[in-house]
Amino acid sequence: MKNNILKEILSSQGKCLIIPHQSPDGDCLGSSFTLSHCLDRHGIEHHIIMDDLIPSNYLFLKKDNMIKSDQVSGTYDYGIILDTSSKDRAGTTDEVLSRCSHLLVIDHHKTNAYFGDTNIVKMVSSVGELLFGLYEEIDYKIDTNDAIGLYTSIVTDTGEFRYSNTTSETLKVAARIFETGFDFEKISQEIFSNQELKKVILKSNALSGIELHGQNKMALLKVTQTMLGELECEMYHSDGIVEAGRDISGIEVSVLLKEISDKEIKVSMRSKSYLDVSEISLLFGGGGHIRAAGCTLNMNLQEAEQTIIKEIESRL
Ligand code: 5GP
Ligand code: MN
């Protein structure tokens, strides 16, 4: 067996902090859940940092050991950062990170900055798939709770096994997860058939404002503060909108501009078959994967719109 840091953590009985990324999604929440469960089963003292609200369709992954950054006290032997490509995306403060003697990054982003003391970065579908590989190396036998976290992680990051990051290995891992006998129908319903009505209406409003650019190969969608205010939504309710733009026939790239303020626009990009959106994100200090990436533009919505349209149109 290779030198597996997870084995070292489990045998050292050191104190751990699990750190997902900001604006948590199914992959980082699912992988935090299974890793925490694995540490529980080995009697390892640990917490999960959760500063942001958990989207309601992932509340089944909430654990009692979740704390906020300002509740952290003392030091930790290991800080385990999941699904996070760069330090500024970690869901905690630099102060909390500095309390961890050893930072372990477990990630699958093409643009990972290798900012940990140890970095396990593999281009697999999801951190769930990567963790499953680490579990296998140390002969850790997953149970139904591990399966719930791993399944959530993999099914969400692969778009229900539709995206190009789904490989035969991903499906083999999924089969092994199913063999635990976990209630996958219940979990699928929690994730996909449990959306708040206002979230669905926000998506509908955003889609009715769609614009096409770049010879109709680019879909441009917006969620403004006004749109959120009307529905009493938070920005995390905009989850799923950018993918709906990509699902349109003839669209190669879908861009969602999320108005955080009149000086800050969060950009989410999804491509269908050839455009590398991680390259575009990197130009603006962001990152991600070939088919899913993002960045932040410090300008107003109109300027952001022009900037992104210009950059993408030249590549289509
Ligand atoms: P989303 O559009 O769902 O926010 O993000 C899509 C992918 O791009 C995710 O894998 C996410 O980690 C990455 N990403 C989004 N925004 C940023 C950013 O500002 N910086 C970096 N490095 N990655 C980002
Ligand atoms: Mn991920």
**300 φ, ψ to 5°?**
-85, 175
Residues 6+ apart with CB under 8 A from 50: 20, 24, 66, 67, 68, 91
Residue 47 scores a pLDDT above 60: yes
Q: Residue 4 — very low, low, confident or very high, per pLDDT cuts 50/70/90? A: confident
CA dist 186 and 315 (Å) reads 42
**Rg of the chain in Å (alpha carbons):** 19
Q: Is 289 in the pocket of ligand 1 (CB under 6 A)?
A: yes
Q: Whose CA is nearest to atom 1 of ligand 1?
A: 268
Ligand nearest to the CA of 83: 2
Give the list of residues 6+ apart from residue 128 with CB closer than 8 angstroms, or none.
27, 30, 31, 34, 149, 150, 151, 152, 153, 154, 157, 173
Q: Within 13 Å and on the Cβ side, how many CA atoms surround 240?
A: 18
Backbone φ/ψ region at 250: left (φ over 0), alpha (ψ -120 to 50), beta: left
CA–centroid distance for 270 within its chain: 14
Q: What domains can you pick out in the chain, each with its CATH number?
A: 5-192 (3.90.1640.10), 197-313 (3.10.310.30)
197 burial class (0-12, 13-18, 19+ CB within 10 angstroms)?
exposed
Global confidence as pTM: 0.94
Q: pLDDT-derived band of residue 1, with 50, 70 and 90 as boundaries?
A: very low
pLDDT of 245-295, one tens digit each?
999 999 999 999 999 999 999 999 999 999 999 999 999 999 999 999 999
Cβ atoms within 10 Å, residue 181: 9
- Over residues 293-299, mean pLDDT: 98
Alpha carbon of residue 302 to chain centroid = 27
Q: Which residue from 89, 264, 270 has its CB within 8 A of the most atoms of ligand 1, so it is best to mutate?
A: 89
Sign of the CA dihedral with 288 first, then 72, 3, and 150 last: negative
Determine contact, residues 220/316, Cβ cutoff 8 Å.
Answer: no
Q: Output the CA 58–ligand 2 centroid distance in Å.
A: 15
Gap from CA of 295 to ligand 1 centroid (Å) = 6
Using one digit for the tens of pLDDT, what is the confidence trace for 94-151? 999 999 999 999 999 999 999 999 999 999 999 999 999 999 999 999 999 999 999 9
**Protein residue with its CA nearest to atom 7 in ligand 1:** 293
Nearest ligand to the C-alpha atom of residue 110? 1
State whether the beta carbon of 268 lies less than 6 angstroms from ligand 1.
yes
How far, in Å, from the CA of 108 to the mean position of ligand 2? 7
The answer to whether residues 219 and 253 touch, using CB atoms and an 8 Å cutoff, is: yes
Alpha helix segments (H runs only) across the chain: 5-12, 26-41, 94-98, 127-137, 144-157, 168-178, 184-192, 197-208, 225-231, 241-246, 277-283, 301-313
Kindly state if the Cβ of 55 falls inside 6 Å of ligand 1. Answer: no
Dist. CA 151–CA 131, nearest whole Å:
12
Atom index in ligand 1 nearest the CA of residue 113 equals 22
Backbone φ and ψ for 247, nearest 5 degrees, come out as: -70, -5
Q: Quick one: which ligand is closest to 85's CA? A: 1
CA of 288 to the centre of ligand 1 (A): 5
CA of 215 to the centre of ligand 2 (A): 31
pLDDT digits (tens, 9 = 90+) for 187-233: 999 999 999 999 999 999 999 999 999 999 999 999 999 999 999 99
